[in-house]
Copies of this chain bind each other. A is one copy, B any other.
Amino acid sequence: MNFEYHNPTHLIFGAGSLARLGEAASRQGKKALIVTGGGSVKRNGTFDRAAASLKAAGMAFAECAGVEPNPRIATVRRGARIAREEGCDVIIALGGGSTMDAAKVMAAAFYYDGDPWDMIYHGQPAPHVPTRALPVITVPTLAATGSEMNMGAVISNEETKEKSFVQAECLYPVVALVDPELTLSVPKDQTAYGVCDIITHVTEGYFNGVDGTPIQDRFAEGVIVTAMEWGAKAVADGKDLEARAQVQWASIVALNGWVNAGTNGGFPVHMIEHTLSAFHDITHGAGLSVVNPAWMRFAAAHRPAKFVQFAERIFGLKAKGPEDRDGALQGIDRFEAFLKSIGCPTRLSELKIDDALLARYAQETLRIIHDQNGRLPGRPAMTEADIAGVLRSAL
């Protein structure tokens, strides 16, 4: 268990925190680029409140609206251009994971003369790893991706039908300003997909990481049970501020390194989902909800012990021992049932995806990321046939 951890993001958490945006931003610069998504922040007043806080602190700002749910590299190019033309010196992401991810890459593209797509890992290695970026302040309006407090971003290329990631130290937001009140208006389905995203961030490291990480296991289990309990409440009553706050806290810690530190695991479920999103422009969390249980059944057949632990600690089931495959499968069944109960899809058909391109999805996933044996990193590492088989089992 040799590893490094560093996360310099300053977190400001709590209901009403949006009012502190101006104070936080004015410590970073004089003119902000506010990056937003499809327009909900305009309709529900969040944008105006953010703008008022900036103005009160003497900040000017420009706008880059319209980041797509699967944020496109063309939008990143547009945002970086606006930031340069307008002379912005700080970027504020006011939206969900896609908005935050796009804003991070815009911040690095600001200093990069080449095409920002060079920074995205799409075939190995990425042509350019960014080392410098404008300061980014994340203000999430959805609890899901954890992008608010980490150094990752996922970007799609609509021309090449690729969706992939970048991770770089310079992409850590300088401030994550997390106000659970901003998530009160998130619709039921997006809330549920966010809960699935949160849980999947944790299950990836839990099931794919190295052995001998008892604290990380406990932390992961803590996030999962809490996200399930409070996520169901947030889906049932979107106005439940406590539920929104607990889910948002789960979102942050699920992917800021606290749970995964030292686990060194692959993210196979995410990688497979990225391919589906690239081809079909589906919501990331909805795609994960289909792929994750199917992947779990595949992985449990190879290595049931961790899935037995999952069944016992998350669902209180009693298995017959670490090699009890039936006990492992019962836990996965319960997990899938939970996803259904909050309204998440668990079959590809619900996403209107059929079996026409299964081999292609597998090839594309492996083309973007593979180990030295040509397999998708994870436990177990997956061949093209493995990936296609998992997807087939989820049709």
Which chain B positions have C-beta within 8 A of A226? 214-215, 218
When C-beta atoms are compared, the residue in chain B nearest to A253 turns out to be B215
On chain A, the number of residues with a Cβ less than 8 Å from chain B's Cβ atoms is 39
Residue A16, interface by CB 8 Å:
yes
Residue of B nearest to A9 (CB): B6
Chain B residues with CB under 8 Å of A246's CB are 212, 214-215
How far is B217's CA from A230's CA once the two chains are assembled, in angstroms? 14
Question: Does residue A10 face the partner (Cβ distance < 8 Å to B)?
Answer: yes
Residues of B within 8 A of A212 (CB): 242, 246
- Bound-complex Cα distance A45 to B6 (A): 29
Would you call A185 an interface residue if the criterion is a C-beta within 8 Å of the partner chain's C-beta atoms?
no
- In whole angstroms, what is the CA distance A111 to B34 when docked? 39
Cβ of A356 under 8 Å from chain B? no
Interchain CB contact under 8 A, B221 and A218: yes
Q: Given A214-B226, A215-B249, A219-B218, is A11 in contact with B15 using a C-beta cutoff of 8 Å?
A: no
Digitize A1-36: 1 where CB-to-B-CB distance is under 8 Å, 0 elsewhere: 111111111111111110000000000000000000
Q: Which of A205-223 contact B (CB under 8 A)?
A: 212, 214-215, 217-219, 221-223
Q: Is B262 a contact partner of A249 (Cβ separation < 8 A)?
A: yes
Roughly how many angstroms separate A16 CA and B2 CA in the complex, as a whole number?
9
Can you give 12 A-B contacts (C-beta < 8 A)?
A3-B13, A4-B11, A4-B13, A5-B10, A7-B7, A214-B222, A214-B226, A214-B229, A214-B230, A215-B226, A217-B222, A218-B223
Q: Please name 6 further chain A to chain B contacts, defined as beta carbons within 8 Å, in addition to the given A212-B246, A215-B223, A253-B258, sorted by A numbering.
A: A1-B13, A1-B14, A2-B16, A11-B261, A218-B218, A249-B262
